[in-house]
Amino acid sequence: MKVFFVVHGFVQGVGYRWLVKKAARKDGIKGMVRNAANGTVEIIAEAEGENLKTFEKDINVDIKSGPSVLSIEKHFEGDESYPNTAKDYEGFIIEH
């Protein structure tokens, strides 16, 4: 299953993408994370359902304030709001 996350909050310039990459490796997620021009962080994650649930919990951490203070939008592959990408990821990367 592929999911596109858009993370709102204090997530740029604080090491959040590295936190996401570490969580992805721990949870067996393939995909990418990147800063968006509008101040959010975008994540494409691919894995089995339980791994994605664990990953979503792991990334819901504000670096400065602790757990569960971010707003995370979740869009599934095939939804209108899912980005048009045919890219398949071997592992998990930070895009610049």
CATH number of the domain bearing residue 61: 3.30.70.100
Instruction: Report the alpha-carbon distance of residue 35 to residue 33 in Å, rounded.
Output: 7
Instruction: Report the alpha-carbon distance of residue 95 to residue 32 in Å, rounded.
Output: 7
pLDDT per residue over 45-86, tens digit each?
999 889 999 999 999 987 777 665 679 998 887 777 777 665
Q: How confident is the model at residue 7 (pLDDT cuts 50, 70, 90)?
A: very high
Residue 21, C-beta contacts closer than 8 angstroms, at least 6 positions apart: 33, 92, 93, 94
Instruction: Report the alpha-carbon distance of residue 2 to residue 48 in Å, rounded.
Output: 9
- What is the span of the domain harbouring residue 36? 2-94
Structure tokens at 79: 């939804």
How many structural domains are present in the chain? 1
pTM: 0.88
pLDDT above 90 covers a percentage of the chain that reads 58
Structure tokens at 55: 């990953």
Q: Which active-site residues does the annotation give?
A: 17, 35
